[in-house]
Every structure is written in C-alpha cells, then in structure tokens.
Structure 1
Amino acid sequence: MTITEYSTSPPRAQSYRPRTLRRQPIPDHTAPRRRPKITAHGVRAGLGAAIAVVLAGYVLGAGWRGDLDIDAVVTLLVFVVAVWMWIFASIDDTYVALGAALALVVVGAVDTETFTETLGSELIWLMVGAFVIAAAITASGLSARLSARVLTWARTPRHLVHLVTLALLITTFAIPSTSGRAAIALPVFLALAAVLRDRARLVLCLALVFPAVILFSAIGSLLGAGAHLITSQILDTTIGSGIDYLTWAMLGMPLAILWSHLAAEVALWIFTNHAERATPLRITREAVGAITAAPIHGPFSTPQRRLLWTLGVVIVLWCTESVHGLSPAIVAMLGALVATAPAVGATTMPAAVKTIPWTLLLFMAATIALGVALSETGAAQWLADQAFGSIRDQGPAGAISFVVVVVVISLAAHLVMQSRSARSAVLVPIVVATAPLVGVDPAAAAFISTAAAGFCITFTSSAKPVAMFAASETVPGYDSRHLLSLAAVLAPISLGLLLAFAFWVWPALGLPLLAS
C-alpha cells in the first residue's frame, strides 16, 4: 500500500507587482490639427439636411401666414423628415415609414382607424394571396422546369437573351414584386453561368439582362411591384377609383414588352462583340437540369398541372372582375387555399406564409397612410401649387411641360431614393394633386410617374434585383462600371419611349392624357 505524502509547507506567496500606469502623452497645442475627412456621402447628407431645413422653414412660414392648417403643416414636416431619412439615413425604409405614419397618428393628422385599416386593406390581402401562390409554384419546381424548357430553345446568344426576356415577362403575372421574381430567377442565372462558363462576355450580358428585364417588365402587371398597388390606392383615395388588374395589364404590358426587349438588345450590343454573337449555342436540358436539380424530363407532375390550372383560373378571374364581382383579394386568397390544400397543393400554408416579405407589406401599409394624409389634409395640393403653379395657365403647353417634368423626375428619382415604393409614395400624391391644375388626367399622370420610376439600374443600390445580380463570391455578375454604361444608353431611350407612350400609345388604349 502506497501512502501519498502531502506537503505541509505553506504555499508560495505570489509576487506582487504594482500596476503600471500608462503615461498619457501631453497634447501638443502647437501641432496642426488633423481635419476630419470629408466624404461625398457626408457632403450629400449635409446638403440634403440643409434643403430639408429650408423646406421645413418654408412650410412653417406657410402655416404662420394661414396658407396651411395645422394638420397640413405637421403632415408636411413629417413628410420632409421621412424623405430625408429614406435618402440619407442608414435606417430600414420600413422603420422610417412606420415611424412617420405613427407620428401622424399621435399628432392627430391621421386617425387610428385610417392607420390600422391600411394594413387590412384589400391590396395587402391581394399581395398575401399572390405570395402564397408564388411559394407553391416555386416549391413544385414548376418555375425551374419551365425556365429550363424555354432556355433549351436558344441557338444563338440573341435567341438566349430574348428568350430569357420572354420568360421573365411571363413571371410578371405569377410572381408579385420585383424582389420575389429576382429571388426565383437567380438560380436560373447561376445555372446558365455554369453552363456558359467559357463565354464570359455572354455571362456578363445575362447578368445585366436579368435585373433590367425584371425591373422594366414589372409595369405589365398590377402585382409587378408594390409601388403599383400604392399608386392604385392613392388614386382610389383621391379621385374615387384606382386602376384594376385588367386595365393595368392592357396599359402596361405593351410598354413592358418593348422596354424589356430593348434593354436586352442594348445589353447584348454593349457587352458582347460580333464574334460572340455569331458563335452558336446549344444548351441541353441535361446541362441545366443537373445544376438546378429540377426534374425537367417527362410530363408535368400532378401538383405542377394543378398549379398551372390554378394560376390560369386566378388570372382569368382577376381580369374579369366586372363580370363576376369577386374582389381580386378574394380571388387571390381562394387561389392560395387551393395551392396549399392538403393532398392537392405543392406546399403547406405555414411553409408558404414564411416566404411572405412582411416588411414589404408593412412598408406598403405605412406609405399608403402617409399618402392618404398628404391628400386629405391638403398638403399634397399645396405642394402641387408651389411646384407647378407657374405652368397652370399655359394651356396645352403647360400640360406637355408637366408630363415631361414628371417623366424626367420619376426617371431620376432612383438616384436619391432607393425604394421604388417610397418613390411612388412621395411622387404620386403630388402628381395627382397637380394634374388637374394643368389639364392632365390624374390617373394618366400617376400611371406615367409610376412607369418611369421603374427605371432604377444606375447603381447597385438602386434596387434589390440589381444588388442581387451584382458580382460577388457566388455570383459572376457585374460591377458599377457596367451598370453606368448600360444606364447611360438606356436612360435617353427610356425617356423617349415613355413620352411616346404618354402622348400617343396610352391615349389610344383608353387612358386619355388630358382631363375631360
């Protein structure tokens, strides 16, 4: 038996070292001070703050003179602060919109019922149903399968670019919001980039075609962007009637088709050379299917066929609302129930609901409340008088000048305000209030402004789809130089195209430019 000996000596005392105080350097007051670095963003934010202060002072002066009542003054002040924060502050757009709407409720410019009813409005329920149907389509693999089938028809780079454009145009009727369509289209682009890995010029061209077409084709459908629903709601609040699904499609789809294919052709000419365009292509289903992991052989599965029928019936019912009387929101929710029904749909309701971008819906509800406040308090009318009062009595020349100014401002608005919905929430109330003063139909003016606001491809931050397809570690996309090159060519083309539609095409399709 071994006995373990324990030491009875006291433990070694730990040595104590006094704490060394770090000597602080004595400031040299004779040395030149380092000036803070001035950045472009800081200059822009400072200039924007100065403009906001001037505008706020001008609004307060109008209230002091009695030109505006207290509700209109408060609404305009909140509006100025919200716009400044949307442009310059690094705060989420939805947070800013909700804060502005709640501020209007607290001060009494908007009543509680108006604020709460916006979130439960028909347009919000329409978007919820559409997002659930879109989630079922994605879960079934239908979108990837149809994309693969379409892309295998391409025999030349020009065929491929325009087939991609056609496929994205079709999704305008099935997938709500540009961000949702970009999320579905990104895996298809990555599959194409992998198949065409040896043709870098063509991959770069496709990287630009995808977001450009997603943004330009959105005008073809009422559900193409949240800004469209905001415009329709503001028109309904202001003049008593919005723009229904069928009318929006009849007016917007011709522009969407022409605008998208022009953008695709311009991108093809800028970023590929003659040799690249002349080299034939052959994209097999096996090549695309192996990367997308989507079964593309054989007949459609039973869930896919049911979803095709469901989507077709929903679109027909949306377009024939005047015949059956069912609200588009009710139709969308019925379609959502069928698309997620047990043993029938391709996904479950809880799974589909998780894909809904609730921040977008909250943003829409808050901006609708802000737009209603601008209209009902007379603030939008006052802004219209201040901005366009000089062209009120110019007759037809004033109407032409007004339309040109609206198109130019709406085209350029993305340079300072990234959110498409925010741009419509800011511009449409003013445009609708101004249009009657110059003899322009309010619905036509609102539609023109909303269509022009779809041009947002100059910077990576101009729109979410543009950011999603930019070059990164996983995406073989583009950089800022490519975007600027494409935007420089497309901006004047878009201006001419929008003015041609505003003055000739849309009046011929039943949207008169001049007020009756």
Structure 2
Amino acid sequence: MGSPNAKRKVHVVPSIKQSSSVPIDRSKVFTLVLGVIIMAAIYFILPENYSDTAKIMLGLLGMSVLYWTFEPVPLGVTAVLLLILMTVFGIVPKEVVYSGFSSPAVFLIIGGMMLAIGVNDTPLAKRLAYFILAKWGGTAKGLVGSIIIIPQIQAFFIPAVAVRATLLIPVAMMTLDTIEVKENGNLRKMIMLAVAFGGTISGTVVMTAAIGNILTVELLKEFLGIQITYFQWFLYTVPIWLLLIPVVWFVLLKSFALQPENKEFPHVKEEMKKKLDELGSLNVQEKKCIAILILIVGLWFTEPFHGLHPSIPALLGAILMAFPGIGCSKWESMVKINFDTILLMGVTLSLGYAFNHSGATELIGGSLTAGWFIDLLRSPILAVFSVLVITQVLHLVVANVSTAVVILIPIFIGLATTAGADPVLICVTASLACLHGYILVVEATPNIVVHSTGQIQQKDFLIPGLWMTIAMIAVTVLTAATWWNWIGLL
C-alpha cells in the first residue's frame, strides 16, 4: 500500500457543458393547449343525441384545423397525432383509420415529388425560367407576366405546387436583385404575389398539380364510384385556367403603383440571356428528362384508353428517371422526398373516410339542409355561385386546403344527393374554390412559400387577394354558364 500522503491519481469527471436552453415558444404552447380545449368544448357542447363517435370526430377535426392552420408543430406531427387519436378513441375500425394510405392518390403524390426532384437534378427548370424572362422580362408588365406563366408550364411536369413555388423563388429574387429593387418596394411585392398567385392558378387545369384536386377525385370515387380522369379534369377547368392568367396579371399591375424607374429594365433580359448562355445547349440529361416527361403526360391524357390510374405513369416516370442508361437522376436523390406531405395526404384521406364512417358528415350535412339552400342547389348556376361563395368563406376558417376538401366534399356529396343535383358539378366547384385561396397566407401553399421568404407581409395579400377571389368566382360562374353547359357538365 502506498503512503497516505502519496498523490493519488484522481479521475476528474468533466462537467457537462450546459447547452443554451432552447426558448419555449409560448404562442405554440398556447395553440397546442387551445386545440385540446377546442376538441373538448366541441364534444361537450354538441347535443346529446349526437353519437359519441361523431362528437369525438368533430372535436378532433376542430383541433386539426387549428393545428394545420397555425402549425404549432410540423404538419406531419399533427397528421400522425390524428392517426393515433382516431385509433385510441376507437372512432372507426383500424381498417378505416389506415385506409387513406392504401389509396393510389398517396402513390401519385410520392411519384410526383420524385419526378420534381428528378427534373430539378437537371438544369431544365432553370432553363425554362431563364428563357421566358429573357424574352419578356425587360419591363414590369413583362416580368410579372413571365413569373405568372412559368409555373403554368411547370405544372404539367412538376406535380407538387410547393416545389414549383420553391423553384421559382430564387429566380424571382435574382431578378429583383438585378433590378436593385428596394426591400419594401411595390415591384418586389408584385413579383412575390405573382409567384404565389401564379402558383395557385397553375394547380387549376392539371389534376395532378394540386393535392386538393387529387383528394376530390378520390373522394368522389370512394363515395359514389365516379371516376374523373386526367383529361376530364383538364376539359372542365381549362377555360377557368386560361381566363385567370390574364386576370391575375391585370389585378397585380393595378394593385401596386410603380415608380418610373421600376417600369423598364432591359438589363434583366441581358442578364437572363447570359444565364442561358452559361447553361449552353440542351445536354443529354435534359433531353432524356424531356422524353420521360412527354411519356408521362401522354399517359395521363390518354387515361380513358388504357385505364391506368395517374399514379402508375408517375411512378413509371420516377423509375425511368433513375434507371441506368435511361434516366437523368439518381434513385438515392429522388427518394429524399418530403415525408410530411405523404403523411398529410394519407391522414387527410383517412380523416375523410372516418368523417363519413363516424356519422359526422350526416350531422353537418343535416344542419345545412335548409330548404332555401337545397333549392339553390337545384338550379345549376345558382348552385355553382352559392357553393363558390360558401366554400370561399369556410376556407378562410379551415385554411388548410387538404382539410377543407376532406371536410367539405363529403358534405357537398350528401347535399347534392338530397337536392337531386349533379355531385360532380358541385364537388368540382367546391374543390376549385378550396384551391384558389388568395386572401390569407395560410390558404394556399404558394402563399406560405412566398411569405416564408420575409419579402412580403400578410397585409400585402389582402386587397389583391380579395379582388382575385371575386374574379375567381366570376370566372367560374361564367365558365359554368357557357363552357360547362356546352360540354354537358352543367
């Protein structure tokens, strides 16, 4: 044994460095607690003659609307939470709770996001943007028009609206920096809203270009066995799409007064031409990408002949883009998709099925069966107008597009059946109204993407958004009275 005075080797345990604590976001905590309160309040306020399952379902719906609107937690977290709560409370059988994920619509979204990554792995999307801006980007009018047109073309080969907006933002920002527009300038606001509103309009004509469209088609098939094809959706909506493009251009130009120096800027065209020159001619990868996209869109348009669900061409395209020697991307890159979107799609579909299965749809639909409203639905033009107005108002409350569609489409199906009206006419109208959210940031994904840049505020959406909402209603009613009447939808 050593001497007691001998030095002993002391093992000093290093102190654990306290990481700087993450500040608690009180507003998010408040929103989370408020959601629980709303769920409980809905359950206890509803009449006793409502079934427990319907009351719990409506309570969960109220909570989900709040969470998806204000996002105290990521969208996917809310989706999974709903999945768990529907199972724990036993609102509907487990088969119904998970049924949304068995829908081909989920695989259409997966395929669409993979296609978007594959396209983005080539310079094709940037080339398109540079080409259009080089042609018409030398004036304020041309620049706004160009920013609006770009997502309309992208919608045919980039199904995800969030991806279209995200790809366009850097191009728009680069253009504004080239012009040296001041931070709060009207031209900056105009261009940012052109990205947002143009992105929303781009989801109109292409069935696969907006989640709301896909959900509507799936719900009609689930509840009524009615299958709307890619071509039919295009046929129904093409006049609305074509009319809204010049309308949004006009509204934005009239909504913001521009200084003389912000009306013409020929150096933008020169800058875009320089960018095009840097890209050079179409490379092999881009040519392969174009060929695959033509094949996919061709299969989507010819769905009535081969009967393949749109998810099959989308998934086939994803495989071809990653296939050795044929593709333009890598599988490792293409599978890095936003899983939140998949969870949101699957759970919102399950929510719609559970909403109907629990009896909640009948309860809400029953409260809207006032004689005057049923009479309105029996007159096709009045039905279109009233559904547009009611849906736009409700969409301000139920801001999330997927949630709005899942709640309203089953209700409108029931009301149309009661009134003896065409459910396709009513549901397509409601779906379009859900898609075209312009007033609030949270009403549409492109609005959220643009607002997240910090370049524009909620107040900047209000006046142009109000005019676009009125214009959308007017254009849809005009289309119904003419085009839909001619093709037999009205």
Mapped partners of 1:310, 1:265: distance in 2? 35
Mapped partners of 1:45, 1:91: distance in 2? 8
1:100 aligns with 2:96: no
Given that residues 182 and 211 in structure 1 are in contact (C-alpha distance below 8 angstroms), is that contact kept between their aligned partners in structure 2? yes
1:478 aligns with 2:462: no
**Residue in 1 that maps onto 2:440:** 459
**Residue in 1 that maps onto 2:16:** none
- List aligned pairs for 1:77-116, cutoff 5 A: 77-87=59-69, 90-116=72-98
**Residue in 2 that maps onto 1:56:** 43
Cα–Cα, structure 1 residues 505 and 399, in superposed 2: closer, same or farther, change >3 Å? closer
Cα–Cα, structure 1 residues 49 and 121, in superposed 2: closer, same or farther, change >3 Å? closer
What amino acid is aligned across from residue 379 of structure 1 in structure 2?
A
- List aligned pairs for 1:339-350, cutoff 5 A: 339-350=321-332
Given the alignment, which residue of 475, 478, 488 partners 1:500?
Answer: 478
**Residue in 2 that maps onto 1:35:** none
Given the alignment, which residue of 194, 211, 225 partners 1:240?
Answer: 225
Cα–Cα, structure 1 residues 335 and 193, in superposed 2: closer, same or farther, change >3 Å? same
Cα–Cα, structure 1 residues 348 and 190, in superposed 2: closer, same or farther, change >3 Å? same
Greater shift in the superposed pair: 178-187 or 189-198: 189-198
Residues 407-439 of structure 1: per-residue CA shift (max 9 Å, x gap):
123223443333211211222221222122223
**Residue in 1 that maps onto 2:271:** 287
- List aligned pairs for 1:296-445, cutoff 5 A: 298-354=280-336, 356-391=337-372, 394=375, 402-445=383-426
- List aligned pairs for 1:222-261, cutoff 5 A: 222-261=207-246
**Residue in 2 that maps onto 1:173:** 156
What amino acid is aligned across from residue 216 of structure 1 in structure 2?
I
Mapped partners of 1:197, 1:431: distance in 2? 49
Greater shift in the superposed pair: 451-460 or 84-93: 84-93
Instruction: Count how many residue pairs are aligned between Structure 1 and Structure 2.
Output: 462
Q: Secondary structure of 2:203's match? A: helix
Given the alignment, which residue of 177, 194, 198 partners 2:177?
Answer: 194
**Residue in 1 that maps onto 2:252:** 267
Shift of 1:507: 3.4
Shift of 1:48: 9.3
Given the alignment, which residue of 150, 163, 185 partners 2:146?
Answer: 163
**Residue in 1 that maps onto 2:57:** 75
Cα–Cα, structure 1 residues 198 and 106, in superposed 2: closer, same or farther, change >3 Å? closer
What amino acid is aligned across from residue 241 of structure 1 in structure 2?
I
- List aligned pairs for 1:5-44, cutoff 5 A: none
Cα–Cα, structure 1 residues 369 and 507, in superposed 2: closer, same or farther, change >3 Å? farther
What amino acid is aligned across from residue 228 of structure 1 in structure 2?
N
Mapped partners of 2:333, 2:31: distance in 1? 43
Cα–Cα, structure 1 residues 509 and 160, in superposed 2: closer, same or farther, change >3 Å? farther
Mapped partners of 2:485, 2:326: distance in 1? 44
Shift of 1:233: 1.3
Query: Mind listing any 5+ residue stretches in structure 2 that lack a counterpart?
Result: 1-25
Given the alignment, which residue of 204, 214, 229 partners 2:189?
Answer: 204
Q: Secondary structure of 2:484's match? A: helix
Shift of 1:110: 2.8
Residues 313-365 of structure 1: per-residue CA shift (max 9 Å, x gap):
110111112212333222111111111122332221111111x2211111111
Q: Secondary structure of 2:172's match? A: helix
Greater shift in the superposed pair: 309-318 or 339-348: 339-348
Cα–Cα, structure 1 residues 275 and 386, in superposed 2: closer, same or farther, change >3 Å? same
Residues 189-221 of structure 1: per-residue CA shift (max 9 Å, x gap):
122112222585433321211111101221111
Given that residues 141 and 294 in structure 1 are in contact (C-alpha distance below 8 angstroms), is that contact kept between their aligned partners in structure 2? no
Mapped partners of 1:44, 1:362: distance in 2? 21
- List aligned pairs for 1:110-125, cutoff 5 A: 110-125=92-107
Given that residues 399 and 439 in structure 1 are in contact (C-alpha distance below 8 angstroms), is that contact kept between their aligned partners in structure 2? no
Given that residues 388 and 433 in structure 2 are in contact (C-alpha distance below 8 angstroms), is that contact kept between their aligned partners in structure 1? yes
What amino acid is aligned across from residue 494 of structure 1 in structure 2?
M
Shift of 1:111: 2.5
Mapped partners of 1:82, 1:361: distance in 2? 17
Cα–Cα, structure 1 residues 94 and 198, in superposed 2: closer, same or farther, change >3 Å? closer
Mapped partners of 1:172, 1:85: distance in 2? 28
Given the alignment, which residue of 467, 483, 487 partners 2:465?
Answer: 487
Residues 268-309 of structure 1: per-residue CA shift (max 9 Å, x gap):
12224484686463533x62376xx77655431011011111
Cα–Cα, structure 1 residues 467 and 434, in superposed 2: closer, same or farther, change >3 Å? same
Greater shift in the superposed pair: 361-370 or 373-382: 373-382
Given that residues 352 and 407 in structure 2 are in contact (C-alpha distance below 8 angstroms), is that contact kept between their aligned partners in structure 1? yes
Given that residues 117 and 334 in structure 2 are in contact (C-alpha distance below 8 angstroms), is that contact kept between their aligned partners in structure 1? yes
Mapped partners of 2:273, 2:398: distance in 1? 39
Residues 342-389 of structure 1: per-residue CA shift (max 9 Å, x gap):
2332221111111x2211111111111111122234321231111233
Mapped partners of 1:469, 1:297: distance in 2? 26
Shift of 1:119: 1.6
What amino acid is aligned across from residue 484 of structure 1 in structure 2?
L
Cα–Cα, structure 1 residues 327 and 458, in superposed 2: closer, same or farther, change >3 Å? closer
Mapped partners of 1:40, 1:350: distance in 2? 38
Q: Secondary structure of 2:298's match? A: helix
What amino acid is aligned across from residue 286 of structure 2 in structure 1?
Q
Given the alignment, which residue of 117, 120, 126 partners 1:135?
Answer: 117
What amino acid is aligned across from residue 170 of structure 1 in structure 2?
I
Cα–Cα, structure 1 residues 309 and 109, in superposed 2: closer, same or farther, change >3 Å? same
Mapped partners of 1:384, 1:45: distance in 2? 28
Shift of 1:41: 11
Given that residues 289 and 327 in structure 2 are in contact (C-alpha distance below 8 angstroms), is that contact kept between their aligned partners in structure 1? yes
Query: Mind listing any 5+ residue stretches in structure 1 that lack a counterpart?
Result: 1-38, 64-68
TM-score of the two chains, using structure 1 as the length reference: 0.80
Given the alignment, which residue of 125, 128, 133 partners 1:151?
Answer: 133
Mapped partners of 1:78, 1:503: distance in 2? 39
Cα–Cα, structure 1 residues 52 and 358, in superposed 2: closer, same or farther, change >3 Å? closer
Mapped partners of 2:253, 2:198: distance in 1? 13
Given that residues 112 and 160 in structure 2 are in contact (C-alpha distance below 8 angstroms), is that contact kept between their aligned partners in structure 1? no
Mapped partners of 2:74, 2:32: distance in 1? 17
